[in-house]
Every structure is written in structure tokens, then in C-alpha cells.
Chains A and B, each alone.
Chain A
Amino acid sequence: AQRSSGSPASSNGSQSFAIVSFKWNHVKDPYVITLWVLVASLAKIVFHLSHKVTRVVPESALLIVLGLFLGGIVWAADHIASFTLTPTVFFFYLLPPIVLDAGYFMPNRLFFGNLGSILLYAVIGTVWNAATTGLSLYGVYLTGIMGHLDIGLLDFLLFGSLIAAVDPVAVLAVFEEVHVNEILFIIVFGESLLNDAVTVVLYNVFESFVAIGPEKVTGTECVKGIVSFFVVSLGGTLVGIFFAFLLSLVSRFTKHVRIIEPGFVFIISYLSYLTAEMLSLSSILAITFCGICCQKYVKANISEQSSTTVRYTMKMLASGAETIIFMFLGISAVNPDIWTWNTAFILLTLVFISVYRVLGVVLQTWILNHYRMVQLEIIDQVVMSYGGLRGAVAFALVALLDGNKVGEKNLFVSTTIIVVFFTVIFQGLTIKPLVQWLKVKKTEHREPKLNEKLHGRAFDHILSAIEDISGQIGHNYLRDKWSNFDRRFLSKILMRRSAQKSRDQILNVFHELNLKDAISYVAEGERRGSLAFIRSPSTDNMVNVDFNTPRPSTVESSVSYLLRDKAGPVCLDMQALEQRRKSIRDTEDTVTHHTLQQYLYKPRQEHKHLYSRHEIMHNEDEKQDKEIFHRTMRKRLESFKSTKLGINHPKKLNKIHKRDRGQKRRNSSAIPNGKIPSENPVQDFALKEKDLEFSEPEESNDYETLHLGKGVDFLANVTKQNFTDTPSGIDNPVFSADDDQSVYMKFSPWLSSEDTVVPSQRARVQIPYSPNNFRRLTPFRLSNKSIDSFLQADGPEDRPRSFLPESTHM
């Protein structure tokens, strides 16, 4: 307390208390790391500011250049290369997220469908590359062009094995921007992942051979090498599968700890990586297969929010790691200590890896095409050869070499750096124009179509059946057996019960489409300006709308935007709009949208939840949503079905009949509760309208039996000329057809309880119109009974379209 200012601690180390001190050494390590990460991320922002640049130059190349630049600065300032990409950091922290991301989002069906090809390229191709490159370099060395080097055959083979492997990080980085068709991508990418086993084995074998010395290499050692390949690869895979099983099992029980659910995915996957590394198996294979095998069960088990969290976190980690890797590749290059230049060696390496890659691809493709249904054409082969990029894995491996045992380590390092730079920068730059020039078939981004999924599924079954009938074991047979096994045993163990029900892919597409429909419908309504969606925190926020005023401008944010963002449950408290005073038809457009509120999303009181780290609210409306979807879909198809079966007329008769019946009862009915400024002429007008439109709840509430397909029963009843209309449950007027009512909103529906069905006029769309076509607008109905009676609302009351308000004077 003696010092009064914020000056740093006194330099004489006295006993006085320092208020503030500068503790650089204390924070140095984490600070520097964080700074670098920040710099890399900022660099990404800067790169993407210019679209022109990023379209041409792949991001990885830009990052390398940036790294070179920064390394130069650091070196100029310090004359020491203080930051390099150490193999430890790379292999333990930077590589796992990338590979996990690849495995977790691997398109499994595509992957396993092409597994044969992938394995061929990965194993045979890598061995071929390594052998040919190493041997050729050795051959050239023997001719003496390279001058004198402290090097032997084994060193060359070692070098060949680490430079031969296609790198997953680089491939991902470049192919992501190129968008080739999925089969091509999966083959190159799968190859880059699976060749790790080969690389690991070859690298370890040759490194130990170099260590023990070439004289002691005997036949048994070679045999051991070959055996170790199988052990390493299969062992790694098994480790991955084991941890995937563990992860899926754990995720089944995490219902009550949803907050840390995403953590399990990362922790257990990382454990698989480390375990494989510990057992000297292929860790990349382990974590890849962990991701591949667990994705289905984990995605089914964990909640929606957790799934999103996992996805985003994984992408963030992977992308961040990739950024750092490339930047540090650049920085590490600025290290004069390691630079050794040998023109022949470097140039020849470049030549050999390119040439042998092309040769290898061509040969293997020729063999493969005899067995593949979908042939790989010349264009595909070009892309595959050209896309065989080397990257950080090679660099890390070469940096890992023991300088004492490998005489020319620096030469190897320099060459590797140049090779990596060349492939990433040059090939990365030119692959996009090349792809475009060759007109490689691109991925077609199409929305999942229900029909396609159904047909695909049907074909799967047909092909399996044909295979069964003809007594063959084929692709489909295997896949079928697997999926049976999976359904009967695996899913029961690994998937949550609730997830088992709804894991059918077709159902997912269906729900997605429903959601999309709902969103586009709402968006359309917004666009038309007849709805003002106000996102209100609670239904207490009732606004008293004055009909005279035009639409309030307090639209916070487009609800469809919110919905699209899947921002969880949104409270849609829709407010009616619109008085276009001019035409009568416009006045018809006064609406409210409790329809949507009723039929799609239950308005949710936003809980004033105290901040809790242990709990989040999760969506309990799933069942309800499902019911609503079923209902709406069924109703939509009624029009379809009805027009097809020609039950239009009986239906109309029904309604008119009912209307007549209804009218007699109505005239004396009281106006339902609600604030209706009766001075408003439109209102009066509307009032008269209202008289005609009261619905007749004539039957009991069929809510419970909704999802048992009552809709069809209804139609069946109608066809029997049964005049007691018995539609099931609440008729979603949005989707009922032939509704020609022209009723206004008579009172503020939002003042009524949540369950009031007050569909908007606009909301009644006749299917199979697309939502863009709101021509046949139908008004909604009101009940003269209490609000609750809306739950018992019956079928749509019909009214001819030409029935305009002004002509209804009852």
C-alpha cells in the first residue's frame, strides 16, 4: 500500500508491495499460443474480405504465404526461429480434430460403397508411390548427379515412404473449394485417410531399419514389417470401432446431462486416438472409424441442440487446426538452420512423385474399372492424380526423424517443405481451373425429395430380393444383412428408445419437408404483407389492434428467418393486420394467424429461467409437432383425394345443408366475447358476415384419434353419402379445400385463449396450390359458442367463392 501509482514493481526487489506488476513470464506460453491462434483467425477474416482472391487462391496457400511472411518478421526481429510446427503439437492437438471431423461427417453409404476402390488406392497406391519414388531416387543417386550424400538405400526408401502419402488435410482444404462430384471426392479423400496405416508402417519399418543399420536387415525383418502392416491397420480400426461402441452407448444415457453431452463425443474420440497411438497402431484410422461408426447412433441419441453444438464445435476445431497448420508450415520454413539445397534431389523428387502418382492412378484405375459399376473415366483419373497433395503429415513425419540416425535429415526436411509448398500452392491454385476446363461433373446440390428417397428405398429392397432370389451374395445382400443386424441388435443396445422410432431416413426427409413447407408458407405470407409476425415473449403480450391503423411497423424480425435458423421453439403470436380500405376483397384480408400458432407451434412462454449451468429446456413438443404434421398432411390430401374421387359435390351439399341448419340457430346468437369497436363500419359489416359463418360443432372431439387416419374414414363416409360430416379433430382450415367462406376476424383473436382457432383468410390455401398462389382465399370461421368449442370444430363450411361480403345481408 505504499505505492500510489500503477507503476511496475520496483526493480530493486524490495519488500514493498507492488500494486500492479508485469508478469510476462507467467503467462508467456498460453499467451503466445493464443496470440498465434488469433493472428491466424484474423488472417482468415482478412482473406475473405476479398472475394476475388479467395475464389482463385485456395485458403491454404494464402495461409502458407502469411506464415512465411510472419516467420520472416520473427526471424528478422530475433534471428532465431522460435516457432515451428513441432510434431508433438501437430500429432496430438492439431491433427485429431481434423480427422475426427472427417470421420464424423463421412457419408457412410458412399464411403462403404466405394471402399474397395478406396482401399486399393490407399494401400497399393501408397506402397507403389513409396517404392518407386525411393528406388528411383536411389537409382539417380547412384549415377552421381546428386553429388555426395551421407545416405543409403534405406534412407531413400524412408524418405519415399513419408513423401508418398496423400495428405488428408491438404486434400480437404483444396477439394472443399473445388466441388467435384461426390464419388471422386470420396475416393481421393478416403484414400488420404486410409493410407495412414501404410504410411505409419512403412515409416516405422524403414526408420527402425535405418536405425539398426542396413546390414542387419534380414528376411524376417521384412516379414515382420508386412505382418505389422496388417496389425497396425486392423488394430487401429478395431480400436476405433470399440470406442465408437462406447461412445454410442454412453450417449444413450445422457438424457439428463444434456449440457455436457457434446463433450462426450470429443473426449471419447480423442481417447481412441490416444489409445491407438499408445499401442503404436494407426491412430488416424482409429479416430476415423470411431467417427464413422458412431455417427449414426450418436446423432440419433443426442438432442437437437447438442447435435448442433457438436457439429459447430467440430467444424470450428477442425477449421482452426487447419488454419494453424498451414500458417505454421509457412513459419517453420523460415528457419535457415535446416535449409540444405540440393537441386537434383529436390527437382527429381518433385518429378518422381508427380509422374509415379499419375502412373499409379492410371494402372489402378484400369484394374478397378473391370470391377466397378460406375467407371472412372480419364477426367476422373486426371483429377485424382492432380489432387494427390502432400501436406503437413509429411512435414511432421520428416521433422520427427532422428537427425543422428538419418544423416541427411535437413535435406529431407527442405525437400519436404518444397514439395508441400509446391503441391499445396501450385496444384491447389491450378486445380480449380483445371477442373473447370475439363468439365468435371460437379456435385449437384439438390433438395432431398421424398419421392427419390422412396424410390431409392424401394430399389434397395428390390435389388436385395433379386440377389436373394438368384442366390447371389452381392453388394445389396451385404448391406441388407448389415442393416438387419443393426436393426435387431445394435440399435437396440446403442440407441435411445425414442430415437429408434424415428430414425427412419424417410421420416426425417418428410419432417424436413414439412418444416420447409411451413416456413415457405409463412414466408409467403410475410411477403404478401398480410401478416405481421411479432415474436413475443409470452402470450400475455396482447396488443389491442386498432383496425383503422395500417400494419404496425414493429416487426422485429422475420419469423421465417427465425424458423430457418432453427432457433428452437419460437413463439409466434401473430397479429392481424391489414385493412386495405379500398377494395372489398382487400377487406377480406383481415386476418389473424392463430392458425399457425395452433397448428404448427405451440406458443411458448419464454421461461424466465434463471441462468443455470446444468439444465436447459429441451423440446417437449415433439409429439405434438408430429401430430400436427400428420394432421395437416392428411388434411391437405383431402382435397386431392376428394377431387380425385369426385366427392366434391356431396361435400358441398353437406356444407350447404349444414349452413342452412346453422343459420337458423345463429341469428339469435350473441356476439362472442371480444373487444369489438362497433363504430367501425367495417366491423359492423363484418358482424353481419359473422352471423353466417358460425361453425357447428356437431360431433365430439376426436383429438385423440387424430393420428389414426381418420381423415380417410371421413372421406369414406362422405362417399357413402353420409350427411353427417365427421371430420376428425380440428380441421386445419389452412389446408382444407373448397373453403369459400369470407369471414372476417370479428374480434381480436389474440385476446382469446391459446387454443382458439382463428385461421386467417390468407391462411386458407387450396392444395395442391403452391403457397405462392393465394387466389382462393377463404375466411375463417368463428364459433358462437364458447372458445372451447373450437376444439370441437367440425369440417369446413363451404361457401361459393363469389360470395362477397357486400352481398351477404342476412
Chain B
Amino acid sequence: LGESTGLPLSALSHPTPVTSDQVEHLHRRFKQLSNDKPTIRKEHFDSIPDLEFNPIRCKIVQAFFDRRNLRQEEDGLVDEINFEDFLTIMSYFRPIEPNMDEEQLQRFRTDKIKFLFHMYDSDHDGIITLQEYRNVVEELLSGNPHLEKGAARSIADGAMLEAAQTCVGPMGPNQVYEGITFDDFLKVGSGGAVAGVLGAHSVAPCA
């Protein structure tokens, strides 16, 4: 399987347990996107037509190049990713196998939430500040053309407040709520909606 399809062997022994079918499929897709080159840059994602309608497209594409998602120690963004990196990102969304045990499932969920967290936290400081949150919400709601300008901001503000109240409780007069840390994020985001999304919807590759 390795040499004949041009798959780098390292991909097959990739630490994330993706089945070989999926690897095949993704590799084909990768080659399609990269025009048969070994690496992909951000521009290559523009060739996906359906992605255009996605309001948070930029952030998602950027997430592919985020070092934190690629499990690298440094911070920041890379310019191009190879297939192994591509696989790493995609493996966050692989379908849940029935033989996963509780711990694996938990880790799986945490990974997904972490992915989301990295997406929100654009300056990579580990905290989602109000401005960052506002950016995300505005982008998220940008799909609705009838939304007033201030509404998205207000919503972000409200959500931030809610997070503050949930995570820190009633605050003293001099307390400052810096922003949402990852733990807070887990606490706040572990509600029903997210759990339902996480549990019920992973991406299942079609045959």
C-alpha cells in the first residue's frame, strides 16, 4: 500500500488511529487539493467551492495551519502543511468507533473542544478575550444578512458575561475577568448542545 500509491509510510503508522481506508481516501483528496504537490497552503483551500458559504471559513482554514492543532510545541502558524499534518487535523473528526472505551471517548471529546478553543483564541495566549470572542461571533453570525451590526457584538458580550458568571460566579468589585481559559471553556461548553454535536456527529467518510 505504501509505495504504490505514493503514500508516505509515516502516514500509515500515524499515531492517530485512522483506518487505512480513510487514509487512502484522504490522501486522494489531499493530492486533489494540492495539485499533486507534497504540501498545501491556505490558497489551496479556496478551490473548494462549498466552503465559500461557510461563515467561519477563514478561521477553519487557519486552524489547519495552527501549530497547536498540529501538536507541535511551538506556537503560531505554519505556512504549509504536508499530508501527515492534514491527517492530524482530520483525525480530530474521525467517526467514533464502537470499540472505543470511555477514556478514549473522553479524550476524543476533549480534543474536539480544544480544536474549537484554538479557533477562538486567535492570539494564541491560551485565553479567549472579549475581543476575540466578538470576532468569532460576528463571523459566525455573518451568514445572516439581516442581522444588525450591533447585535452580534451584544451577543458576544452576553455570552462572555454568561461565561464569567458560570465560571467565576459573582465577582468582587475589583475582580477582573480576563477571559475564558480552556478549563472555563470546558465548563461552559460542555452543555447539551455541544455534547450532542460531539457525540452524534462526527464525520463519517463515505465508502
Across the interface, which residues of B come within 8 angstroms of A475, CB to CB?
Answer: 201, 204
Q: Are B154 and A634 in contact (CB under 8 A)?
A: yes
Q: Are A461 and B205 in contact (CB under 8 A)?
A: no
B17 at the interface (CB under 8 A from A): no
A139 at the interface (CB under 8 A from B): no
A637 at the interface (CB under 8 A from B): yes
Q: Are A369 and B60 in contact (CB under 8 A)?
A: no
Known: A465-B54, A466-B60, A775-B173. 18 other contacts (CB 8 A): A373-B202, A446-B192, A455-B191, A457-B140, A459-B198, A462-B116, A465-B60, A469-B51, A480-B53, A507-B151, A630-B151, A637-B130, A641-B130, A706-B150, A707-B149, A709-B150, A768-B161, A768-B165
Across the interface, which residues of B come within 8 angstroms of A770, CB to CB?
Answer: 165, 169-170
**What is the chain B residue whose CB lies nearest that of A375?**
B98
Q: Are A513 and B158 in contact (CB under 8 A)?
A: yes
Q: Are A452 and B161 in contact (CB under 8 A)?
A: no
Across the interface, which residues of A come within 8 angstroms of B70, CB to CB?
Answer: none
Q: Are B56 and A455 in contact (CB under 8 A)?
A: no
Q: Are B140 and A461 in contact (CB under 8 A)?
A: yes
Within the complex, the shortest CB–CB distance from B120 to chain A, in Å, comes to: 8
**What is the chain B residue whose CB lies nearest that of A371?**
B204
Which chain B residues numbered 161 to 207 have a C-beta less than 8 Å away from chain A? Answer: 161-166, 168-171, 173, 175-179, 188-189, 191-194, 196-206
Of listed A487, A630, A773, residue having the most chain B CB within 10 A: A630
Q: Are A452 and B157 in contact (CB under 8 A)?
A: no
A451-B163, A768-B171 as given contacts; A510 in contact with B154, CB under 8 Å: yes
Q: Are A373 and B197 in contact (CB under 8 A)?
A: no
Interface residues of B (CB under 8 A from A): 25-26, 29, 32-33, 45, 48, 50-51, 53-57, 60, 90, 93, 95-96, 98, 112, 115-116, 119, 129-130, 136-137, 140-141, 143-144, 146-151, 153-155, 157-166, 168-171, 173, 175-179, 188-189, 191-194, 196-206
Q: Are B54 and A464 in contact (CB under 8 A)?
A: yes
Q: Are B93 and A644 in contact (CB under 8 A)?
A: no
Q: Are A466 and B93 in contact (CB under 8 A)?
A: yes
Stretch at the interface among A20-28, A164-172, A326-334, A496-504: A496-504
Q: Are A459 and B95 in contact (CB under 8 A)?
A: no
Per-residue B-contact encoding for A453-486, CB less than 8 Å = 1, 0 else: 1111111111111111111111111001000100
Within the complex, the shortest CB–CB distance from A80 to chain B, in Å, comes to: 55
Q: Are B151 and A463 in contact (CB under 8 A)?
A: no
A466-B203, A470-B203, A470-B205 as given contacts; A461 in contact with B150, CB under 8 Å: no
A629 at the interface (CB under 8 A from B): yes
**What is the chain B residue whose CB lies nearest that of A445?**
B192
Across the interface, which residues of B come within 8 angstroms of A500, CB to CB?
Answer: 146
Within the complex, the shortest CB–CB distance from B64 to chain A, in Å, comes to: 8
Within the complex, the shortest CB–CB distance from B153 to chain A, in Å, comes to: 6
Residue of B150, B160, B175, B197 touching A707 (CB-CB under 8 A): B150
**Across chains A and B, which 5 residue pairs bring their CB atoms closest together, nearest first?**
A501-B146, A456-B193, A452-B191, A637-B157, A452-B193
Within the complex, the shortest CB–CB distance from A513 to chain B, in Å, comes to: 6
Of listed B148, B157, B163, residue having the most chain A CB within 10 A: B157
Q: Are A469 and B45 in contact (CB under 8 A)?
A: yes
A453-B193, A507-B147, A630-B151 as given contacts; A772 in contact with B203, CB under 8 Å: no
A373-B200, A462-B116, A463-B201 as given contacts; A504 in contact with B144, CB under 8 Å: yes
Across the interface, which residues of B come within 8 angstroms of A630, CB to CB?
Answer: 148, 150-151, 154
Q: How far is it, in angstroms, between the C-alpha of A768 and the C-alpha of B165 when the chains are bound?
A: 7
A758 at the interface (CB under 8 A from B): no
Q: Are B56 and A462 in contact (CB under 8 A)?
A: yes
Q: Are B158 and A640 in contact (CB under 8 A)?
A: no
A634-B150, A641-B130 as given contacts; A455 in contact with B189, CB under 8 Å: yes
Q: How far is it, in angstroms, between the C-alpha of A123 and the C-alpha of B144 when the chains are bound?
A: 39
**What is the chain B residue whose CB lies nearest that of A110?**
B196
Within the complex, the shortest CB–CB distance from B152 to chain A, in Å, comes to: 9
Across the interface, which residues of A come within 8 angstroms of B194, CB to CB?
Answer: 452, 455-456, 459
A540 at the interface (CB under 8 A from B): no
**What is the chain A residue whose CB lies nearest that of B169?**
A770
Q: How far is it, in angstroms, between the C-alpha of A636 and the C-alpha of B50 when the chains are bound?
A: 39
Residue of A458, A460, A463, A640 touching B160 (CB-CB under 8 A): A640
Across the interface, which residues of B come within 8 angstroms of A640, CB to CB?
Answer: 130, 157, 160-161, 164, 177
A113 at the interface (CB under 8 A from B): yes
Of listed B115, B158, B163, residue having the most chain A CB within 10 A: B158
Across the interface, which residues of B come within 8 angstroms of A303, CB to CB?
Answer: none
Q: How far is it, in angstroms, between the C-alpha of A512 and the C-alpha of B125 when the chains are bound?
A: 33
Within the complex, the shortest CB–CB distance from B143 to chain A, in Å, comes to: 8
Q: Are A484 and B53 in contact (CB under 8 A)?
A: yes
Across the interface, which residues of A come within 8 angstroms of B188, CB to CB?
Answer: 449, 451-452
A113-B200, A470-B205, A773-B170 as given contacts; A454 in contact with B137, CB under 8 Å: yes
A704 at the interface (CB under 8 A from B): no
Q: How far is it, in angstroms, between the C-alpha of A463 and the C-alpha of B204 when the chains are bound?
A: 11
Interface residues of A (CB under 8 A from B): 113, 369-370, 373-375, 444, 446, 449-477, 480, 484, 487, 500-502, 504, 506-507, 510, 513-514, 626, 629-630, 633-634, 636-637, 640-641, 643-644, 706-709, 712, 766-770, 772-773, 775-776
Across the interface, which residues of B come within 8 angstroms of A458, CB to CB?
Answer: 56, 116, 119, 136, 140
Q: How far is it, in angstroms, between the C-alpha of A712 and the C-alpha of B135 when the chains are bound?
A: 14
Q: Are A470 and B90 in contact (CB under 8 A)?
A: yes
Within the complex, the shortest CB–CB distance from A644 to chain B, in Å, comes to: 6
Q: Are B170 and A769 in contact (CB under 8 A)?
A: yes
Across the interface, which residues of B come within 8 angstroms of A456, CB to CB?
Answer: 193-194, 196-197
Across the interface, which residues of A come within 8 angstroms of B178, CB to CB?
Answer: 644
Q: Are A708 and B158 in contact (CB under 8 A)?
A: no
Q: How far is it, in angstroms, between the C-alpha of A304 and the C-alpha of B130 when the chains are bound?
A: 33
Q: How far is it, in angstroms, between the C-alpha of A461 and the C-alpha of B165 when the chains are bound?
A: 27
Q: How far is it, in angstroms, between the C-alpha of A452 and the C-alpha of B67 when the chains are bound?
A: 26
Q: Are B192 and A444 in contact (CB under 8 A)?
A: yes
Residue of B146, B150, B168 touching A502 (CB-CB under 8 A): B146
Q: Are B153 and A373 in contact (CB under 8 A)?
A: no
Q: How far is it, in angstroms, between the C-alpha of A641 and the C-alpha of B203 when the chains are bound?
A: 38
Q: Are A455 and B116 in contact (CB under 8 A)?
A: yes
Q: Are A769 and B171 in contact (CB under 8 A)?
A: yes
Q: Are B60 and A461 in contact (CB under 8 A)?
A: yes
Across the interface, which residues of B come within 8 angstroms of A641, CB to CB?
Answer: 130
**What is the chain A residue whose CB lies nearest that of B190?**
A452
Q: How far is it, in angstroms, between the C-alpha of A373 and the C-alpha of B26 when the chains are bound?
A: 21
Q: How far is it, in angstroms, between the C-alpha of A454 and the C-alpha of B185 when the chains are bound?
A: 12
Across the interface, which residues of B come within 8 angstroms of A451, CB to CB?
Answer: 159, 162-163, 166, 188-189, 191
Across the interface, which residues of B come within 8 angstroms of A452, CB to CB?
Answer: 188-189, 191-194
Selected A-B contacts with CB under 8 Å, 10 pairs: A373-B200, A454-B140, A462-B116, A463-B202, A468-B51, A470-B25, A630-B148, A707-B149, A709-B153, A768-B171
Q: How far is it, in angstroms, between the C-alpha of A445 and the C-alpha of B119 when the chains are bound?
A: 29
Q: Are B153 and A712 in contact (CB under 8 A)?
A: yes
Q: How far is it, in angstroms, between the C-alpha of A449 and the C-alpha of B190 when the chains are bound?
A: 11
Within the complex, the shortest CB–CB distance from B127 to chain A, in Å, comes to: 11
Of listed B48, B112, B161, residue having the most chain A CB within 10 A: B161
A373-B96, A450-B155, A768-B164 as given contacts; A459 in contact with B197, CB under 8 Å: yes
Within the complex, the shortest CB–CB distance from A157 to chain B, in Å, comes to: 37
Q: How far is it, in angstroms, between the C-alpha of A707 and the C-alpha of B166 when the chains are bound?
A: 27
Q: How far is it, in angstroms, between the C-alpha of A641 and the C-alpha of B157 when the chains are bound?
A: 10
Q: How far is it, in angstroms, between the C-alpha of A161 and the C-alpha of B98 when the chains are bound?
A: 35
Q: Are B51 and A504 in contact (CB under 8 A)?
A: no
Q: How far is it, in angstroms, between the C-alpha of A469 and the C-alpha of B50 when the chains are bound?
A: 9
Residue of A449, A462, A464 touching B162 (CB-CB under 8 A): A449
**What is the chain A residue whose CB lies nearest that of B89?**
A466
Across the interface, which residues of B come within 8 angstroms of A460, CB to CB?
Answer: 197
**What is the chain B residue whose CB lies nearest that of A771?**
B170
